[in-house]
Chain A
Amino acid sequence: MLIKWVQTLGLSLLLMVSAHADLTIEITQGSEGALPIAIVPFQQPVTGAPTQNVDQIVTSDLARSGRFQPLPVADMLSRPVQPNQVDFRDWRALNVENLVIGQVDAKGPGAFDVSFRLYDVYRGEQILGYTLQTSADELRSTSHRIADLIYETLTGNKGAFDTRIAYVTSIADQTGKPTIHLRVADADGYNPSSIVSSSDPIMSPSWSPDGQKIAYVSFENGRSSIYVQEIYTGAREKLTSFKGINGAPVWSPDGTKIALTLSKGGNPDIYIMDVRSKKLTQLTSHWAIDTEPAWSPDGRFIVYTSDRGGNPQIYRVEADGGKAYRMTFEGKYNAKASYSPDGKQLTLVTRVGEDYRIGLMDLRTRDIRLLSTGDLDESPSFAPNGDMIIYATRNKNRGVLAAVSTDGRVEQRLVLQAGDVREPAWSPFHQ
């Protein structure tokens, strides 16, 4: 390693004084695809091995992102644990570009040290190496953090594996009576826990920017109300319960306001509520339906769904009021838009023929690219790094969640427990 480094330094110095290369070769073809990577099973402690398998969690995270193509363990020619056991030729022979090795060491009851190293196989260099202290409860989260570190090192984008999702699921009991749950789980669908359950509908979860609270709609008294609930304490507050619709709450990026839909004025319009003072400001006022507001990342704009033009389309208005500006013209049904974290794109539900699919609209060109292939896809939500979108789709008459890379190449269903699952909302980054 050191020798290699010294060689590299020497060569760098040589190159600095040598003349410019006069031979230029253009490479324009190549191919696009996920990066082949091998995550060797981590060595487990002899006694007290954790139930969670770090390497498998990392492997499935990276695979789900669409950016990586992990080598099946069965195909591996060797299974190194220590750096001196790595023979890069084994991995080059398998066309693997990056290699991850590691081990889990027991450090007392329920405590573990997880060490891992990331290698560039063709350059024969270690490019990352960490030891993380964790516990049995936190092991999944630690594994996601490892995936995040690998992801960020190799793609340059922050990983969003160690984040969470909120979603609504309907689970029927033996008699067929459904119970609706608002659940929070890891971004890969594991570790779900209900934060509120009801025999009446629950809708439209929205994360506070600090990731501590969720606003949602509940019909628990036979009518809609908007609640804000602290995830970890369960404490909740009823925000609105006006006559008619109380819907579509969504937190402003700075967390001080919530945009929502109320029909107390006779038809659904967008309002903005100051979270602390509870003061309401009406943002839109139109006889048509105005709903599903979403903030731009800078908080300047709100996009929403309106059928004022005859069918639902996306409109935009400045968050402090003004004229509505129509943003979508393609097709007869565009709804439930939300901004990408960089503010350059909108994801939305768009109707294509008889199918409802997830679209990605470039705000500069206004072109809508389809990301999903289902017939009843809905509720798209950007990962906080903008690289993936989670949405609800149908699998054999059951609602499930799927994640798609924003290039549309990799679409993967999330492993979730029973129930008809819908309305996913991706959390902000871990804070």
Chain B
Amino acid sequence: MSVVQAHSSLLGLKERESRSFASIVRRRLARSYHAVAGATILGAIALAALFAPIVAPADPLAMTIEDQFQAPSGKHLFGTDEFGRDILTRVIYGARYSLRVGVLATLIAVGGGTLLGLTSGYFGGWIDGLGQKLIDVLLAFPGLLLALMIIAILGTGLQNVLLALGIGGIPYYARLMRGQVLSLKEREFVEAARVIGAGDTRIMLRHLFPNTLSPLIVVASIDLGANILAAAALSFIGLGAQPPTPEWGAMLSAGRDYMRDQWWIATFPGLAIVVTVLGFNLIGDGLRDALDPRGLE
């Protein structure tokens, strides 16, 4: 290392010391191509979903049989389907369903998993033993299997798919959370909190939970995309949203019969899923790099 390099890296160290973790993360995120690209994509999709009635050129359910199977054109940018419905409109409205399922299912998983993992890891003893056995058993049902079991119990429909994906995700977060808490609860700041008289609930929520946020946020952002994928897949095979709901998976399922000659019917809803999930994955990548404690010291 040259003198100049050594000097500047020393300076860099000093500069970093004066900044808080949050400001470093913000700076890193703003510089990350991944995070910026992901945020731009998702911002656009979220706005389109929010203002769908204003943005969309037509009514998502209105059928105009004479407009059936129109190829993409100036009038119908994404073409029309077998009922003459404007596909661009339906794709825009579809964002509402997908974002809602993705966000709510992930919230259920994070909330339930945090509660279970936090209490299990913090209290230890028989509570932890029992909690671990439960999580072990739930994790024995891989991937979508737990969600499929819950759909078997609750029945089909997008609402139940949302619940199933949310509950199905709980054991993963519980495990992640417990691991974090186990290593954190021996640290001095927890002891300090206890010495000044903080109760268990306060220690868990005010001291432990904020320190587990980094990995939680990274996993959750990737999971948002995964849940959107899973919900679309389940709708595609007929367990989720039903026609005529303009949900992307359901649209693909209806469009597959026509994809031989009308390629646009099955192409655009699929692209919408890819772009949305890509947005979440890019943000997840950006967050992981930004929240990486390596390079902070």
A, B co-complexed? no
